[in-house]
A and B are shown apart, each in its own frame.
Chain A
Amino acid sequence: MPGSVQSIERAAAILRLLARGSGRLGVGEISTSLGLAKGTTHGILKTLQDVGFVEQDKASGKYQLGATLLHLGTSYLDVNELRSRAINWADALASRSGEAVRIGTPLDGKVLVVHHVFRPDDSLQTLDTGTLLPVHATALGKILLAYDSGVAAEVAGATPEQYTRRTLVTPAALRKAVTEVREQGWAGEAEEYAAGQASIAAPIRGYGGYVVGAISIAGSVDRLFPASGRVDQSLVTFVQNAARAISRDLGAGRW
């Protein structure tokens, strides 16, 4: 086991100190209490302030625990809230791509469809919000596998179901697919879930850049992967732009 990181230990000590007592302390008091040089303390405080874990009172210049830290344990995103925030961008994606759009979040090792926009051709379609999709055979699922360690852990022991002859079922094939997703920033799937069908997905990031779900388009494999099975790059761009717009609205910042 590697040795502990000194600056993290010191940061933790500062946070513990601020969590005690009245909660508001100056740099001098913190340095004295922990036996640290004032410069070192100031540097750590500055970093903690940047990530929102501590806040500096403007009037007194003293430090206290930040709001971000207080919300750390309860920062889950309600799926209905996600739909509400994403609805405009999901519509625009369906309209631009001409394909059906879905937004998925992880649920018990599956993808829960939390939002569904019809393919804009006014044909008869049925809302499938609330249904569950497999992670290994859909673009939405591959995004969650690649970016959500919880999902990856939940499906680790399970035997993936073979839906078509193209479904990825071996651990090696899935590992390779996940690596690819991480490298390119999007996921694709051509006839791995149903014959003739394909999907393309990108990650939706919440506050701080944490992946909260995925958005996809799904439709005929001939349209999504037209040139001898190669993906239509303009569709990938549409999906990624929609994912970025939603992420920005959710406060993901630089993502």
Chain B
Amino acid sequence: MVARYVMSVDQGTTSTRCILFDQGGRLVSVTQREHRQRYPKPGWVEHDATEIWRNLEHMAPEALARAGVDASQVAALGIANQRETTVLWDRHTGVPVGRAVVWQDTRTDELVEQYASRPGAELVLERSGLPLATYFSAPRLRWLLDHTPGLYERAERGDVLFGTMESWLVWNFTGGVDGGVHVTDVTNASRTLLMNIETLQWDKDLLDFFGIPAAMLPEIRSNAELYGTATRAVPGVRISAALGDQQAALFGQTCFAQGEAKCTYGTGSFLLLNTGTVPVRSSHGLLTTVGYRIGDEPAVYALEGSIAVTGSLVQWFRDSLGLIQTAPEIETLARTVEDNGGCYIVPAFSGLFAPHWRADARGIIVGLTSYITKGHLARAVLEATGWQTREVVDAMNADSGLELRSLKVDGGMTADNLLMQFIADVLPAPVVRPMVAETVSLGAAYAAGLAVGYWPDLEGLRRNWHRAAQWLPTMDATRRESEYANWKRAVERTFGWVRPNTNTAG
């Protein structure tokens, strides 16, 4: 049978999705399954890696069945995954060592503080391009080594393997204990604090700094090359791509040229700017990261503005306040009023990410008067995402010396017209949504298809990109500036709320 489709797996924070794409980059079938979020202690977030693999083992064949396709018609499979989530497992049994520690988990905050004051800490930013923070994988791995008796010795012997989600899935697809391939890709590896951003290899000094045995680490590969052939879930299908989800979205948006940027609106939001083949160091709170690397070609780098809380603020509004039934209803509620009524919400739920990086910040609602209704609050929720985007774009412009001329957007929140219009208004710049909002999945599919020759080249992929919607700025400049000034004042009021070593629960 002629291979007519590419399968992509998006292993996300709350669910895993399996999507089949055709040669035009169009969606053919979708299956999705949520996995359990485990919060054993305040600040801890865990996933069961076995549950995630079992879900996928079930969903991948189901996606084929829904399209009436068999595995021989699938040219390749690509994986996009939640980044920085840390999985350890036993090479001989295939059983994870404890639960996966998720990127939102902040159990390592004290450990990070300790390591930051050690000699050699300046190496982390210099070599990895990232600040030493709880957000990344190495502190989690160190924490697990510290808190699991006997683990360090097992890791040194190579009996226990480390990986982010894509490593775990590739290892399982390609046979697990029966010859599973232990690899990671440059984008995921670039989020560990252990990879040298220039050489794209594990950095011996960083491994020494964190005390990580090299024997447990996967081999770092490019984003688009043949890793192996599946023997489980979809036997016979070639596994030929893996990217961190945000880098996958950059690729799916076909931001292949220097200066092209996209923002993905999900639980959090992530703006990535392609900076070409040289890593650019930020002086405005952005991260230097690998964008993608195709086979032996030079790696393409990106500057990243990470916003921790956007879609999750809407979820909080729905689940914790109960003011709406479903997330999209936020737009309906927000449209019951003309403006925010003077109310601002800064969702610094676990501190603020880019461009502030303030761990001591906590969320606030300011400007409350008896005039404020739930409609105004709904506006303030959506506007928070708009202003946080503006802050990150300002930082991007300052670092790159260029002015962003239009913003390509994707992700679930792009279905919210009011929000998209607001973002265009506050940037101010046109906001463009592509024909496939599922750019994370599409990016993984593109990289996988490219590796096996299903798509010939980047230009061919570019031709698949089409504008599905565009929002143009309409807000009056005076109003924009005064609103932005208000937002900035609100942000300042979140700083320093958490004091070091105080126990508020006492």
Contact = CB atoms under 8 A, between A and B. Distances in A.
Contacts of A91: 27, 435-437, 468
A176 B466 CA distance: 39
B27 A88 contact: yes
Interface string B383-422: 0000000000000000000000000000010111100000
Interface stretch (B73-81, B322-330, B487-495): B322-330
A122 interface: yes
A116 B417 CA distance: 10
B469 A83 contact: no
B339 interface: no
A89 B412 CA distance: 13
Nearest to B329: A78
A80 B330 CA distance: 9
A84 B328 CA distance: 7
B327 to A, nearest CB: 7
A117 B437 CA distance: 11
Contacts of B332: 78-80
A190 to B, nearest CB: 25
Nearest to A114: B417
Contacts of A129: 417
Interface string B1-43: 0000000000000000000000011110010000000000000
A117 B417 CA distance: 12
Nearest to B412: A84
B415 A122 contact: no
A33 B414 CA distance: 55
Nearest to A88: B27
Given A91-B27, A91-B437, A95-B435, A81 B326 contact: yes
B12 to A, nearest CB: 15
Main secondary structure of the interface of A (DSSP, over half): helix
Contacts of B331: 80
Contacts of A80: 328-332, 415-416
A118 B470 contact: yes
B159 interface: no
Given A79-B332, A80-B331, A120 B466 contact: yes
B407 to A, nearest CB: 16
A80 B329 CA distance: 6
Contact of A87 (B26, B415, B470, B471): B415
Interface residues of B, number: 28
A94 to B, nearest CB: 6
Contact of B329 (A81, A95, A117, A122): A81
Contacts of A125: 467, 470
Most chain B Cβ neighbours within 10 Å, of A78, A116, A129: A78
A230 interface: no
Nearest to B414: A87
A121 interface: yes
A127 interface: yes
B466 A83 contact: no
A92 interface: yes
Most chain A Cβ neighbours within 10 Å, of B326, B468, B471: B468
Interface string A22-59: 00000000000000000000000000000000000000
Most chain A Cβ neighbours within 10 Å, of B331, B416, B469: B469
Nearest to B437: A87
Contacts of A121: 466
Contact of A81 (B328, B467, B469, B471): B328
Nearest to B417: A129
Interface string A159-180: 0000000000000000000000
Given A80-B329, A95-B435, A122-B466, A127 B27 contact: no
Interface string A196-234: 000000000000000000000000000000000000000
A182 interface: no
Interface in B34-84: none
B327 A84 contact: yes
Contact of A88 (B25, B330, B437, B469): B437
Interface string A65-100: 000000000000011110110011101101110000
B26 A118 contact: no
B203 interface: no
B329 A118 contact: no
Nearest to B470: A127
Interface of A: 78-81, 83-84, 87-89, 91-92, 94-96, 116-118, 120-122, 125, 127, 129-130
Which 10 pairs from chain A and chain B are nearest by CB? A120-B466, A80-B328, A84-B328, A84-B415, A81-B328, A80-B331, A92-B27, A95-B26, A117-B468, A78-B329
14 contacts: A78-B328, A80-B416, A88-B436, A88-B437, A91-B436, A91-B437, A92-B26, A94-B435, A116-B469, A118-B469, A120-B466, A120-B467, A120-B468, A125-B470
Given A78-B328, A80-B328, 13 more contacts: A78-B326, A80-B416, A83-B328, A83-B417, A91-B27, A92-B27, A95-B24, A95-B435, A116-B469, A118-B468, A121-B466, A125-B470, A127-B417
